[in-house]
Amino acid sequence: MDVSRLLAPLKSVFGYDAFRPLQREIMEASLAGRDVLAILPTGGGKSLCYQLPALQRSGLTVVVSPLIALMKDQVDQLQAAGVAATFLNSSLSAGEARSRLSGLERGEYKLLYLAPERLFLPDFLQKLKRWQVAALAIDEAHCISEWGHDFRPEYRQLATLREHFPGVPVTALTATATERVQGDIVAQLHLSDPGQFVASFNRPNLTYRVMPKQRPRRQVLDYVAANRDASGIIYCQSRRAVEDYAAALKDAGHKALPYHAGLPQEERVRNQEAFIRDDVQVVCATIAFGMGINKPNVRYVLHADLPKNIESYYQETGRAGRDGLPAECVLLFSGGDIAKYNHFIDQVEDEQAARIARQQLRQMADFAEFADCRRGALLRYFGEDYTKTNCGSCDNCLDDREEVDVTVECQKLLSCIFRINQAGFPMGLNHAVDVLRGSENLKVIGKGHQRLSTHGIGKDQPAEYWQGLGKQLIQRGYLRQSDDGYNTIELTPEAGQALKERQKFRMKPIRTKMASPASRAKAKSGAIECDEGLFEVLRKLRKDLADARGVPPYVVFGDV
Ligand code: ADP
Ligand code: MG
Ligand code: ZN
């Protein structure tokens, strides 16, 4: 099949640059008229697997979904993208339902979302048959199986669909990967010789490494020199960095070319071709490079700057080792990059967008600072259940330092956050660490945290140590950060259990690297430090202001 036929609407309608794993294969099979069973992890992009083909077919694609609440969202999004989609469910007024039905009668829609029970209302199937059904998609298909985690009896009736729509291709989608459920879905929906696609995000031939970014130019030059004959991509954040690295590499005698959207089109094409033909070994590039390029023998991808989110990191590192042979993904990481991006994000006007960007950046930073298996962290991000404790091919799994007992430290941090939660003070990890270390930071004191019994019990370790430990505990599921962009930290039930049972904790020694000058400056600007005398004065001032205005003291304090 002509792939561009799918790529063009992928970009123009949905705004995506590339397919997620197996999306393209699933669509191709379905468009070729086959039944399909698609197992993609949560967030793997299952919706697109029926939405995009629906645009390619003449006639109606019927989507069965149990999640009435989500139907409207999906349909709204599709309509916003200019796709003629609609849904029918019990939430509609009679008039609205009638008008949608006549639209369907006139063949005005490409996609129709339905709850399963709708299908079997009297006469509905008769209508549906008149509407030229071109394809059927069964979302959350595990609901048909009692072996799944969400069995719904209504789904059982779908077993008869095949009889009513012979020859109409059925695509069943789920994130449940057990074989039993898969077999059940195929049998109950009477899928005939279905194409079965089970996605994993794991790329076993890739090794993941993160190195502290100290002298990036030297590090990049050394890395390329050590991999002299190998094909590699160096990703940088700015065009200027791209040009600088490419020039430095050339000076050092390497065959390297730049690639970014600021170069003339011909030069970009030329440089890309040269790389693909192995005329040059290294391309220094912005994220503009790589889309639609399928060069199998890229042996390394080196990120000289932090990617903005894990999704990009995964996509970009994913360009290494397409041939299945070992390849390496190296990330140079410093706190300075985070401070720099946060500064950019601060300029973003759309609050929601800024919040999302901040959260994605935090997740990316968490990944970079993670001390356990990076492959596991990546796969869990994509909703995959990766249970191996040592993947054998990431820097942390290859790190053979002995684990040490950190039970006391974990107890201190967890109990401090427990007290903070209990007192009802929402705050992020770094502020919690401030409390733990007994900071006199006014933001903290002003809210009364100094009265918590755990205030100051962690003076014996630097802030970086506790932050590192906190990140470990997040990754291990003892702490969790809110997903609303505020990163509020709280204990999970596992942590409560661990504290109660005095569970032992062992970890590789926490690395406490010096914070970069930029991130130190950032940290300072957010906090006023002062001595006791001045503090007393401020405390009185605060009280006077509070009395005068009749508001709780801490609100006034924030304004000082
Ligand atoms: P699933 O149903 O598999 O959990 P969704 O269909 O809800 O996943 O998609 C998850 C997210 O991924 C959505 O925000 C969707 O817009 C996005 N997405 C899907 N396909 C792609 C793609 N090819 N590139 C980028 N984002 C995608
Ligand atoms: Mg879904
Ligand atoms: Zn690992």
Under the banding of pLDDT at 50, 70 and 90, the label for residue 455 is: confident
Under the banding of pLDDT at 50, 70 and 90, the label for residue 311 is: confident
Q: Residue 119 and residue 123: Cα distance in Å, rounded?
A: 9
Which segment of 14-28, 60-74, 317-331, 516-530 scores lowest on mean pLDDT? 516-530
pLDDT the model gives residue 513: 56
* Proximal ligand: closest to the CA of 378: 3
Whether 537 has a pLDDT exceeding 70, the answer reads no
Whether 448 has a pLDDT exceeding 80, the answer reads no
Residue whose Cα lies nearest atom 10 of ligand 1: it is 43
Q: How far is the CA of 389 from the centre of ligand 3 (A)?
A: 7
pLDDT the model gives residue 292: 53
* pLDDT, greater one: 77 or 67: 77
Whether 514 has a pLDDT exceeding 50, the answer reads no
Q: Among 6, 10, 11, 14, name the best residue to mutate to test ligand 1's pocket (greatest count of ligand atoms within 8 A of Cβ).
A: 14
Please give the number of the atom of ligand 1 that sits closest to the Cα of 139.
2
Please give the number of the atom of ligand 1 that sits closest to the Cα of 18.
23
Please give the number of the atom of ligand 1 that sits closest to the Cα of 42.
4
Q: How far is the CA of 419 from the centre of ligand 2 (A)?
A: 38
Q: How far is the CA of 184 from the centre of ligand 1 (A)?
A: 25
Q: Contact, 289 vs 259, CB < 8 A?
A: yes
pLDDT the model gives residue 522: 39
Whether 20 has a pLDDT exceeding 90, the answer reads no
pLDDT the model gives residue 443: 66
Q: Among 19, 20, 22, name the best residue to mutate to test ligand 1's pocket (greatest count of ligand atoms within 8 A of Cβ).
A: 20
Give the rounded percent of residues in the chain with a pLDDT score beyond 90: 57
| Residues forming a β-bridge with 489 | 481
Please give the number of the atom of ligand 1 that sits closest to the Cα of 46.
3
Give the three-state DSSP class for 525. Answer: helix
Under the banding of pLDDT at 50, 70 and 90, the label for residue 219 is: very high
Chain centre to alpha carbon of residue 45: 12
| Residues forming a β-bridge with 266 | none
Which tokens sit at 265? 């089109």
Q: How far is the CA of 387 from the centre of ligand 3 (A)?
A: 11
Q: Among 6, 16, 314, 384, name the best residue to mutate to test ligand 1's pocket (greatest count of ligand atoms within 8 A of Cβ).
A: 16
Tell me the pLDDT tens digit for each residue of 363-394.
899 899 888 899 999 988 877 778 888 999 99
Q: Residue 329 and residue 541: Cα distance in Å, rounded?
A: 55
Under the banding of pLDDT at 50, 70 and 90, the label for residue 560 is: very low
pLDDT the model gives residue 3: 61
Close Cβ partners of 225 (under 8 Å, ≥ 6 residues apart): 252, 254
Other C-beta atoms lying within 10 Å of the C-beta of residue 508: 16
Please give the number of the atom of ligand 1 that sits closest to the Cα of 77.
16
Tell me the pLDDT tens digit for each residue of 220-276.
999 999 999 999 999 999 999 999 999 999 999 999 999 999 999 899 989 999 999
Q: How far is the CA of 42 from the centre of ligand 2 (A)?
A: 7
Compute CA distances 7 → 39, 292, 450, whole Å: 22, 9, 57
Q: Contact, 16 vs 188, CB < 8 A?
A: no
Whether 526 has a pLDDT exceeding 70, the answer reads no
Residue whose Cα lies nearest atom 16 of ligand 1: it is 45
Q: Contact, 519 vs 481, CB < 8 A?
A: no
Classify each residue of 330-367 as buried b or exposed e, where b means 16 or more C-beta atoms within 10 Å of its C-beta. bbbbbbbbbbbbbeebeeeeeeeebbbbbbbbbbbbbb
Whether 528 has a pLDDT exceeding 60, the answer reads no
Q: Among 19, 46, 48, name the best residue to mutate to test ligand 1's pocket (greatest count of ligand atoms within 8 A of Cβ).
A: 48
Tell me the pLDDT tens digit for each residue of 100-142.
999 999 999 999 999 999 998 989 999 999 999 999 999 999 8
Which segment of 110-114, 348-352, 385-389, 551-555 scores lowest on mean pLDDT? 551-555
Average pLDDT rounded to a whole number, residues 419-440: 88
**Residue where the block lists tokens 């794991």:** 202
Tell me the pLDDT tens digit for each residue of 277-294.
999 999 999 998 876 566
Q: Contact, 438 vs 456, CB < 8 A?
A: yes
Please give the number of the atom of ligand 1 that sits closest to the Cα of 23.
23
**Considering the entire predicted model, what is its pTM?**
0.59
Surface-to-core class of residue 121, CB atoms within 10 Å of its CB (0-12 exposed, 13-18 middle, 19+ buried): exposed
Instruction: Describe the strand order of the beta sheet including 327-333 as a list of residue ranges.
Output: 206-212, 327-333, 298-303, 231-235, 282-285, 256-259
Q: Residue 473 and residue 429: Cα distance in Å, rounded?
A: 11
Averaged pLDDT of the chain? 86
Give the three-state DSSP class for 241. Answer: helix
Please report the ipTM that was assigned to this predicted complex.
0.98
Please give the number of the atom of ligand 1 that sits closest to the Cα of 49.
6
Whether 557 has a pLDDT exceeding 80, the answer reads no
Q: Which of 177, 28, 63 is nearest to 36 (CA)?
A: 28
Tell me the pLDDT tens digit for each residue of 162-172.
999 999 999 99
Surface-to-core class of residue 234, CB atoms within 10 Å of its CB (0-12 exposed, 13-18 middle, 19+ buried): buried
pLDDT the model gives residue 1: 57
Residue whose Cα lies nearest atom 27 of ligand 1: it is 45
Tell me the pLDDT tens digit for each residue of 457-509.
999 999 989 998 998 898 888 999 887 767 899 999 999 999 999 999 999 88
* Proximal ligand: closest to the CA of 397: 3
Compute CA distances 542 → 309, 329, 450, 534, 546, whole Å: 41, 52, 16, 12, 6
pLDDT the model gives residue 532: 40
Q: How far is the CA of 286 from the centre of ligand 2 (A)?
A: 31
Residue whose Cα lies nearest atom 18 of ligand 1: it is 45
Q: Which residues line ligand 1 (CB under 6 A)?
A: 16, 19-20, 23, 40, 42-48
Q: How far is the CA of 214 from the centre of ligand 2 (A)?
A: 42
Q: Contact, 164 vs 136, CB < 8 A?
A: no
Q: Residue 319 and residue 298: Cα distance in Å, rounded?
A: 7
Q: Based on DSSP, count helices (H) and strands (E) in the chain, helices before strands.
A: 26, 17
Q: In this structure, what is the dihedral angle of CA atoms 57, 61, 67, 69, given to the nearest 10 degrees? A: 80
